[in-house]
Amino acid sequence: MPPIAQEGNCLIYRGSNFLKQRLILACLSGKPVKINQIRAEDEMAPGLREYEISLIRLLDKITNGTKIELNPAGTSIHHDCCVQRGIGYYLDALIALGPFCKNPLHCTLRGVTNSKDSPSVDHIKGAALSLLKRFLLVDEGLELKGMVKRIRGTVYACKVSPAMANRTVEAAKGCMLKFLPDVYIYTDQNKGKMSGNSPGFGICLIAETTDGVCFAADCSSNTREESDTPSIPEDLGQEVAMRLLDEIYRGGCVDSSYQWLAALYIALGQKHVSKFLTGALSTYTVHFLQHLRDFFSITFKLENPEAEDEDEAGDVRGAQKVLMACVGIGYTNINKRKGFLRLCLLATCLLVAAQASKDGSNMQLKPTKWLTASDLESVPSLNDITWERLENQPLQQGAKMIEKIYHVGQIKHDLTPSFVPSPSNVPVWIIKSNGQKVEAKLNNYVTIVLTGLPQSSPANKKAMRKLVQAYVQKYNLQQQQKNAQEQQEQHKSSDYDYTSSEETADQWKSAKAASGDLIIIDLGSTLTNFKRYAMLDVQNTGAMIGQTLVELSNKGVPQEIIHLIGQGISAHVAGAAGNKFTAQTGHKLRRITGLDPAKMLSKRPQTLDGLSRGDADFVDAIHTSAFAMGTPIRCGDVDFYPNGPSTGVPGSENVIEAVARATRYFAESVRPGSERNFPAVPANSLKQYKEQDGFGKRAFMGLQTDYDLRGDYILEVNPKSPFGQRSPAHKQASYHGIHNAQN
């Protein structure tokens, strides 16, 4: 709606529609605005609502020179938001104004995170912040097209049955799994003071494409004031899933909820033509373009580009797109300091978990933060990095270097996977239950281990030796059972006091005899330098191994007995091998385990590489260096984070040792009697775990992981062997609270 009048430089509007748009643009343009007859037709409650007054007071706090109150500093704001609207209503305004403030803006907002009338905090984190990165960090990519590679989501429940959250998850996943396998939704069940005063539940889904574009959709259940009809979890889950599919169908480079934000930044940008591609314009965006014309006298050129990607039948993929272009006005923040602006938006409220520590240890499960410009100035060349250098550097220093290389690769896309080891150069060992390396027919349970680090590393060499010893011990279990039984009978004849280690004899006695074959495919020996490691072609290498598995299957080895284990970068090779096997045979491997899946420093564009759910019937991962050489991203049906997502687990002195610890943990879980040494609890962070605020049933990390498990699990480990805190040598006296082990 255009202004009804203009008094000098003052724009006059009527009514309460799009109040936030008008206030934001008035702050940026410096034009006074007058809005009258607000809800004049409402005889019961005319004028501004309480949440609108709260927004005006928030804008008043971050600006100088208003008639209401002067704020000379304006860099640190604490604001109690009106509970009539969610925090997202206020965050939108801060995101729009933050980059143009004199100083970095630090805001703490307290209020309600989820409401039907405002985007949730999770929605903003997924859709708005990904858009901000393109403007404040990488000013390009606003026309990139990509396929959806993963869907993540959160279901929260407060003061209602936990079954409500689980039912919502199942309904949403039922819709999304029809289109792609990489769908993970975790639940957030709050109780007590953390649950606030409003009973209910809700869901937020975020779809990420191969080019980093995020689409989001969210919704919450009806409150008693809104409707007498309660929300049904299945209906809510399906509704949000359909909303997300509609967003994906719209396409473009930005979520429809934040088309207006992209238009704002482009309009205020440099004095040259800028453009971005989006789906059909929302009503909110149409009115925002009208207000841009009123306040800045700027208009956009809108075009419907020709569809370039048509399938064989000639059908256009997705909805008709809109290409928006304009010449920026050159709006400049003269107070902008060198480097990138920081927009620190902290939503301190009932449904948001605590912030992570600065060094990355005990961080919550979220994507790795982007580094600042100063951090990226001195990035070493791949040729300058050696395995010896990584082993000699302290853990934090090595992790920082890997992080820089990873982020530069994500920005420039200049690292292309090019190294594929020759099959003749990859050592393959077949180890039988007696420990001998012999050639034998694979007719028992088959475990195939893909190494991901060279054996020249002492930490990795020791870890692999422990893993082989554990499997030899397991596959030679019958003799151990006999010895344990004899020892038990000997002690029963006397008043002998058992040691904690001898207590495991009872477990050995009742254990099931096992036999099998262990195959070591030493890919790590071909990664003689770090550049080969970084440039490893995961897809082609995995396809080569997958073809070998197909040949084994054709010779009578059923896929049900194959357990494929990948270490570090080879975890992703294992995933590619599983995909190749499925494509060739129509069947899936029984299990794939990732031992600290690595950051993929090189990727092909428009491809979905890496270990993920669906690569086998069951995929599990152990993350021991999530913020160093490993990745914090969920890779399997169940992901274990010892001591929370961290740079390195306790006792690891460098990034190589941090990766090798995952192999040591798994080896300990293979040893007979130690299968349950690593009890874990579903949680979002180590802090939540320590506060005994985990949710769901307990699980065990390692070989004995239940195939029905789903989600993220946190546990604590010891810095030295035995690493499991429930190992016999410790008697698990310290395992706390409600998670006490029950054999």
> For residue 739, what pLDDT is reported?
36
**Residue 453: C-alpha distances to residues 149, 185, 465, 577, 661 (Å):** 28, 32, 13, 18, 12
Q: Taking Cα atoms as reference points, which of 423, 425, 405, 404 lies closest to residue 415?
A: 405
Q: What is the pLDDT of residue 243?
A: 92
Question: Are 5-122+255-305+320-327 and 146-250 in the same CATH fold?
Answer: no
Please tell me the CATH superfamily of domain 423-488+502-739, with its number. Answer: Alpha/Beta hydrolase fold, catalytic domain (3.40.50.1820)
Percent of the chain residues topping a pLDDT of 70: 74
Q: Is the pLDDT of residue 622 over 90?
A: yes
Q: Report the SS3 class of residue 406.
A: helix
Task: Work out the pLDDT band at 735, boundaries 50, 70, 90.
Answer: very low
Who's near 369: CB < 8 A, 6+ residues apart? none
Phi and psi, residue 122, nearest 5°: -65, -40
Choice among 366-375, 471-480, 493-502, 622-631 with the minimum mean pLDDT: 493-502
Q: How confident is the model at residue 644 (pLDDT cuts 50, 70, 90)?
A: confident
- The better pLDDT of the pair 269, 312 is held by 269
pLDDT in tens, 554-577: 888 888 888 999 999 999 999 999
The most confident of 313-317, 498-502, 624-628, by mean pLDDT: 624-628
pLDDT in tens, 53-100: 888 888 777 776 544 432 333 334 556 666 777 777 878 888 788 777
Q: So what's the pLDDT on residue 596?
A: 95
When mean pLDDT is compared over 30-39, 507-516, 610-619, 694-703, the highest value belongs to 610-619
**pLDDT score of 740:** 37
Map out the domains of the chain as residue ranges. 5-122+255-305+320-327, 146-250, 423-488+502-739
Is the predicted pLDDT of residue 266 greater than 70, yes or no?
yes
Q: What is the mean pLDDT of residues 354-382?
A: 49
Q: What is the pLDDT of residues 198-253, one digit of tens each?
A: 788 899 999 988 877 889 999 888 877 766 678 898 999 999 999 999 988 888 88
Helix-, strand-, coil-residue percentages of the chain, each rounded to 5: 35, 20, 45
Average pLDDT value over all residues in the chain = 76
Cis peptide bond upstream of 233, omega within 30: no
User: How does pLDDT run across 185-200, given as a tens digit for each residue?
Assistant: 888 887 766 666 678 8
23-37, 472-486, 643-657: the lowest-pLDDT one: 472-486
In angstroms, what is the C-alpha Rg of the chain?
29
In CATH terms, the superfamily for domain 146-250 is: RNA 3'-terminal phosphate cyclase, insert domain (3.30.360.20)
Task: Give yes or no for a contact between 576 and 542, defined as CB atoms under 8 angstroms apart.
Answer: yes
Q: Which of 650, 649, 710, 704 is nearest to 678 (CA)?
A: 704
CATH homologous superfamily of 5-122+255-305+320-327 equals RNA 3'-terminal phosphate cyclase domain (3.65.10.20)
Least Cα distance to 563 among 677, 467, 455 occurs for: 467
If you ran DSSP here, which 8-state letter would residue 606 be given?
T
Helix (H) or strand (E) holding 301, with range, is strand 301-303
Name the more confident of 148 and 523: 523
Instruction: Give residue 741's pLDDT.
Output: 36
pLDDT at 711 over 70: yes
Distance of CA 111 to the CA centre of its chain: 25
Q: What is the DSSP letter of 717?
A: B
Query: Among 187-191, 306-310, 522-526, 665-669, which is the least confidently predicted range?
Result: 306-310
- Bond prior to 722 in cis (omega within 30° of 0): yes
Contact 463, 664 (CB under 8 A): yes
Alpha carbon 614 to chain centroid distance? 17
| Out of 25-39, 365-379, 417-431, least confident range | 365-379
> Which pLDDT does position 489 carry in this prediction?
60
